[in-house]
């Protein structure tokens, strides 16, 4: 299955105006973590928090809705969120934990839950794992190349970055700049080239921008827990939803991109095997 | 069919057991729950388990005993602990279905060597339990010269000396992995146990595995799982890549074992999640 196992797919966005303003797409991640916190489904969440360096995130344990909101928005570089899970439980004393993770991070978390060799008393404390779609990720220096060198503007002027419609976009207060995605090829981390998961197939709930119009997200509910938390949030009015069948570009595009990623990266895997290099999948 | 032949069958030593299908795990389940343990206990024969303590610190068995909620059930109804210094008042090593061996072996200690050879003879399945037994762990740093036995200097993982059937690394292994392993063992769930069987071949562990086998191989994706898993906080993340403090590393091997880019149990994860 090209989109993994799921219960339901909808197009959705957070109803909270404050979240709409700061979120990357429909504010599903921020909205759902904030809802889960308010409903005491979780006591805290690991998110990609801001640092002193522009667009260089650090994993952060958020204990309030304000802290979750402060971490909204996509940073197209590493935030090793998994690293903070243990700290959240041991040092912050969180018994019910939420987190956001790109597909490869969900793999680290789920493997630890199924096989917690050295990781004690953490597996069962993760109550909500929101996966976000991911085509590839970049070292921070690659972002600097795109923005400072290719676009010729300073990182600190950037208010939002986005990948879509074949381009890497940068928004400043009064400008919209872009470079074709072709020019980003070769700058992604090479570990991404063997990745077979686009739509976070192991999340409780997965979300991303592709498939839905600007300002909206495509939401996939997967596990029983994830499905019920998302439905509860919709019922409580935290999200408005639309039938994915009625939105453009809809599921076709999502399926197409996911299939393309799997196909291209499977080729890299096969090539690596031929060369005698190790592959985990 | 007796459990011993069942285990042998599962390990490919003898005939495969007939009509004993592995039971799938309950969907959406991450830990081994009390009900699951009880159900398993009712339905299956009790394996005879022995615990052999070589050059270890007792931390591994402490971890086993941390399964408070299921331990009474485990000890009374699920398994027979037939041997083990801290567990049973037995002097002669009996036949065992499974021997958990804690600690590495000191090559200068005749008694340890003898005990290890005896375990291999008496146990259908030998498990290197804990990282000292599996990878040598911090006994890799031993070099003798201390009182009262300055000659005791060489310590190796047990698989250097005997055939090991499976390994559960960890310094110590988590209580959950022990509970899950025992449940899988009694259920004959070989799919679950396969990684433990594969890990029996991993007799060296070090933080530098991350660099050699993940980063150097163009596989690292900066997820941070290694830094989360390290039990001595020797791993930090710098520019999205693991950085290992060699002075803190005890060579337990856990960072590489937990890394999603070393091996990946996709089927098992989907089963556990109900996907
Ligand atoms: C590297 C990367 C590549 C992506 N590629 C695609 C793609 O190809 N197609 C697609 O549809 N969507 C992609 N996304 C997801 C998309 O950009 C949005 O993150 C997603 O739609 C969530 O939007 P939102 O409004 O619900 O989240 P928001 O409410 O804005 O919250 C975003 C959350 O993501 C966390 N976060 C931000 N950056 C990172 C990071 N680097 N690592 C881990 N967590 C982070 C933040 O802490 C925050 O909690 C990608 C995201 C990343 C990080
Ligand atoms: S493409 Fe895969 S490996 Fe690369 S960052 Fe995204 S999820 Fe991780
Ligand atoms: S656990 Fe993640 S960050 Fe660590 S080496 Fe493996 S892939 Fe890299
Ligand atoms: S870095 Fe940590 S987890 Fe890895 S082998 Fe060393 S002590 Fe063990």
Same domain (yes/no): B222, B166 = no
Mean pLDDT of chain B: 86
Specify the pLDDT at position B230. Answer: 98
Quick check: A191 and B219 CB within 8 A? yes
In a domain, B269, yes or no: yes
CATH of the domain at B74: 3.40.50.700
Q: Which residue of B has its CA nearest to A194?
A: B219
Quick check: A117 and B169 CB within 8 A? yes
In a domain, B25, yes or no: no
Same domain (yes/no): B188, B216 = no
- Banded pLDDT at B30 (limits 50, 70, 90): very low
CA distance B11 to B125: 9
CA distance B250 to B245: 10
Query: Which ligand sits closest to the CA of A73?
Result: 1
In a domain, B21, yes or no: no
The lowest-confidence range among A213-217, A260-264, B1-5, B189-193 is B1-5
Q: Which of B171, B253, B260 to mutate to test the interface with A (most CBs of A within 10 A)?
A: B260
Query: Which ligand sits closest to the CA of A258?
Result: 1
Same domain (yes/no): B180, B75 = yes
Name the CA radius of gyration of chain A, rounded.
Answer: 18
| Partner A contacted by B264 (CB < 8 A) | yes
In a domain, B24, yes or no: no
CB atoms inside a 10 Å sphere around CB A270: 11
DSSP assignment of chain B equals --HHHHHHHHTTSSPPPTT-PPPPPPTT--S--HHHHHHHHHHSPPPEEEEEESB--SHHHHHHTT-HHHHHHIIIII-EEEE-TTT----S---EEEEEEESBEETT-HHHHHHHHHHHHHEEEEEEESHHHHH-GGGGG-----SS-TT---EE-GGGTS---EEE--SSPPHHHHHHHHHHHHHT-HHHHHHHHHHTT-----THHIIIIIITTT------HHHHH-TT--EEEETTEEEE-TTT-----HHHHH-TTT---HHHHHHHHT-
CB atoms inside a 10 Å sphere around CB B204: 13
Residues A223-265: tens digit of each pLDDT: 999 999 999 999 999 999 999 999 999 999 999 999 999 999 9
Start-to-end CA span in chain B (Å): 33
Q: Is pLDDT at B86 greater than 80 in this prediction?
A: no
Indicate the burial class of B12 (C-beta count within 10 angstroms; 0-12, 13-18, 19 or more): exposed
Mean pLDDT of chain A: 97
CATH of the domain at B223: 3.30.70.20
Mean pLDDT of B196-223: 97
Question: Do B74 and B117 meet the contact criterion of CB atoms below 8 Å apart?
Answer: no
The lowest-confidence range among A14-18, A38-42, A205-209, B33-37 is B33-37
Mean pLDDT of B40-66: 83
- The minimal CB distance from A190 to the residues B218, B231, B237 is found for B218
Same domain (yes/no): B72, B152 = yes
Question: Do B40 and B79 meet the contact criterion of CB atoms below 8 Å apart?
Answer: no
In a domain, B105, yes or no: yes
- The minimal CB distance from A112 to the residues B229, B252, B275 is found for B229
Same domain (yes/no): B48, B137 = yes
Residues A105-115: tens digit of each pLDDT: 999 999 999 99
Q: Of B241 and B84, which is predicted with more confidence?
A: B241
- Banded pLDDT at A82 (limits 50, 70, 90): very high
Quick check: B31 and A81 CB within 8 A? no
Same domain (yes/no): B227, B134 = no
Q: How far is the CA of B86 from the centre of ligand 3 (A)?
A: 38
Q: How far is the CA of A81 from the centre of ligand 1 (A)?
A: 12
| Partner A contacted by B237 (CB < 8 A) | yes
Q: Which of B199, B227, B250 is the last residue of a domain?
A: B199
Same domain (yes/no): B150, B214 = no
| Partner A contacted by B132 (CB < 8 A) | no
Specify the pLDDT at position B42. Answer: 56
CA distance A217 to A131: 13
Specify the pLDDT at position A11. Answer: 98
Please tell me the residue having the least CA distance from ligand 1 atom 7: A134
Q: How many helices and strands (H and E) does chain A possess?
A: 8, 11
Mean pLDDT of B238-248: 97
Same domain (yes/no): B212, B255 = yes
CB atoms inside a 10 Å sphere around CB B14: 14
Specify the pLDDT at position B44. Answer: 58
Quick check: B28 and A107 CB within 8 A? no
Same domain (yes/no): B58, B177 = yes
DSSP assignment of A107-130 equals HHHHHHHH--SS--S-GGGEEEEE
| Partner A contacted by B257 (CB < 8 A) | yes
| Partner A contacted by B171 (CB < 8 A) | yes
- Banded pLDDT at B32 (limits 50, 70, 90): low
Ligand 3 touching residue B15 (CB < 6 A): no
Mean pLDDT of A12-16: 98
CA distance A43 to B175: 24
- Banded pLDDT at A275 (limits 50, 70, 90): very high
- Banded pLDDT at B74 (limits 50, 70, 90): confident
The count of structural domains within chain B is 2
Q: Is pLDDT at B5 greater than 60 in this prediction?
A: no
Q: Is pLDDT at B36 greater than 80 in this prediction?
A: no
Specify the pLDDT at position B16. Answer: 35
Mean pLDDT of B117-140: 97
Name the CA radius of gyration of chain B, rounded.
Answer: 19
Strands A217-221 and B166-168: unpaired
Same domain (yes/no): B106, B161 = yes
In a domain, B27, yes or no: no
Q: Which of B199, B230, B247 is the last residue of a domain?
A: B199
Specify the pLDDT at position B11. Answer: 45
Distances (CA, A) of B252 to B140, B195, B227, B228, B258: 10, 17, 13, 14, 12
CB atoms inside a 10 Å sphere around CB A141: 10
The lowest-confidence range among A209-213, B112-116, B179-183 is B179-183
Same domain (yes/no): B227, B169 = no
Specify the pLDDT at position B38. Answer: 58
Q: Which of B178, B199, B220 is the last residue of a domain?
A: B199
With a CB-CB cutoff of 8 Å, which residues 16-55 of chain B face chain A? 28, 30-31
Q: Which residues line ligand 2 (CB under 6 A)?
A: A 102-104, 134, 136-137, 191-192, 195; B 221
In a domain, B103, yes or no: yes
Q: Which residue of B has its CA nearest to A275?
A: B217
- Banded pLDDT at B80 (limits 50, 70, 90): confident
Strand arrangement of the beta sheet that strand A8-14 belongs to: A58-62, A44-49, A97-101, A126-132, A205-208, A217-221, A8-14, A239-243
- Is the reported ipTM for this assembly greater than 0.95? yes
Our mutation pick for probing the ligand 2 site, out of A48, A74, A101, A104, counting the most ligand atoms within 8 A of Cβ, is A104
Helix (H, G, I), strand (E, B) or coil at A240: strand
Q: Which domain holds residue B137?
A: 3-12+32-199
Same domain (yes/no): B116, B232 = no
Q: Is pLDDT at B131 greater than 90 in this prediction?
A: yes
Please tell me the residue having the least CA distance from ligand 4 atom 1: B207
Specify the pLDDT at position B34. Answer: 61
Please tell me the residue having the least CA distance from ligand 4 atom 2: B230
Specify the pLDDT at position A184. Answer: 96
Specify the pLDDT at position B19. Answer: 41
Residues A149-203: tens digit of each pLDDT: 999 999 999 999 999 999 999 999 999 999 999 999 999 999 999 999 999 999 9
Strands B123-129 and B96-102: parallel
Quick check: B275 and A110 CB within 8 A? no
In a domain, B55, yes or no: yes
Specify the pLDDT at position B41. Answer: 53
The lowest-confidence range among A92-106, A133-147, A148-162, B62-76 is B62-76
Q: Is pLDDT at B78 greater than 90 in this prediction?
A: no
Nearest CA-CA distance, residue A20 and chain B, Å: 28
Contacts A85 to B, Cβ<8 Å: 228
Q: How far is the CA of B229 from the centre of ligand 4 (A)?
A: 8
């Amino acid at each position: 299955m090209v989109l993994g196992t799921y219960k339901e797919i909808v197009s959705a966005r957070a109803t909270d105006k404050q979240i709409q303003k700061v979120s990357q797409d429909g504010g599903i991640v921020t909205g759902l973590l904030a809802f889960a916190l308010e409903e005491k489904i979780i006591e805290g969440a690991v998110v990609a928090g801001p640092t002193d360096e522009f667009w260089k995130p650090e994993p952060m344990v958020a204990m309030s809705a304000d802290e979750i909101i402060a971490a909204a928005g996509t940073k197209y570089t590493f935030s090793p969120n998994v690293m903070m899970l243990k700290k959240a439980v041991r040092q912050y004393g969180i018994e019910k934990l939420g987190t956001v993770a790109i597909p490869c991070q969900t793999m680290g978390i789920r493997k630890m839950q199924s096989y917690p060799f050295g990781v004690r008393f953490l597996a069962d404390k993760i109550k909500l794992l929101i996966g976000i779609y991911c085509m590839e990720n970049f070292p921070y220096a690659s972002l600097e190349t795109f923005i400072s060198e290719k676009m010729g503007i300073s990182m600190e002027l950037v208010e939002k970055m986005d990948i879509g419609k074949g381009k890497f976009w940068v928004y400043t207060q009064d400008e919209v700049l872009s470079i074709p995605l072709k020019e980003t090829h070769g700058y992604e981390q090479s570990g991404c080239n063997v990745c077979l998961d686009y739509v976070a197939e192991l999340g409780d709930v997965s979300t991303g921008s592709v498939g839905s119009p600007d300002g909206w997200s495509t939401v996939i509910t997967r596990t029983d827990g994830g499905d019920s938390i998302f439905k509860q949030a919709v019922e409580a009015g935290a999200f408005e939803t639309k039938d994915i069948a009625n939105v453009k570009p809809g599921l076709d595009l999502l399926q197409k991109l996911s299939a393309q990623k799997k196909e291209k990266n499977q080729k890299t895997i096969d090539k690596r095997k031929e060369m005698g290099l190790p592959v985990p999948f | 069919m007796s459990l011993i032949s069942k285990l042998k069958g599962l390990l490919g030593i003898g005939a495969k057991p007939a009509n004993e299908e592995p039971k799938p795990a309950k969907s959406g389940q991450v830990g081994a729950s009390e009900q699951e343990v009880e159900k398993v206990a009712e339905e299956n024969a009790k394996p005879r388990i022995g615990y052999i303590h070589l050059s270890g610190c007792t931390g591994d068995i402490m971890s086993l005993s941390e399964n408070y909620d299921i331990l009474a059930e485990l000890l009374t109804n699920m398994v027979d602990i037939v041997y083990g210094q801290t567990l049973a008042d037995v002097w002669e090593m009996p036949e065992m279905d499974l021997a958990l061996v804690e600690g590495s072996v000191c090559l200068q200690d005749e008694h340890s060597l003898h005990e290890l050879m005896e375990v291999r003879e008496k146990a259908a399945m030998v498990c290197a339990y804990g990282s000292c037994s599996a990878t040598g762990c911090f006994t890799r740093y031993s070099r003798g010269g201390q009182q009262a036995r300055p000659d005791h200097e060489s310590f190796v993982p047990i698989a250097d000396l005997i055939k090991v059937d499976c390994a559960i690394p960890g310094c110590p292994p988590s209580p959950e992995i022990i509970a899950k392993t025992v449940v899988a063992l009694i259920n004959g769930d070989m799919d679950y146990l396969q990684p433990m069987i594969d890990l029996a071949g991993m007799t060296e562990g070090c933080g530098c595995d991350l660099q050699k086998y993940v980063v150097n191989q163009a596989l690292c994706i900066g997820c941070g799982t290694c830094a989360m898993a390290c039990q001595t906080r020797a791993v930090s993340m710098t520019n999205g890549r693991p950085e290992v403090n060699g002075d803190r590393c005890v060579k337990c091997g856990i960072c590489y074992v937990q890394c999603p880019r070393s091996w990946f149990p996709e089927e098992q994860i989907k089963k556990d999640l109900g996907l």
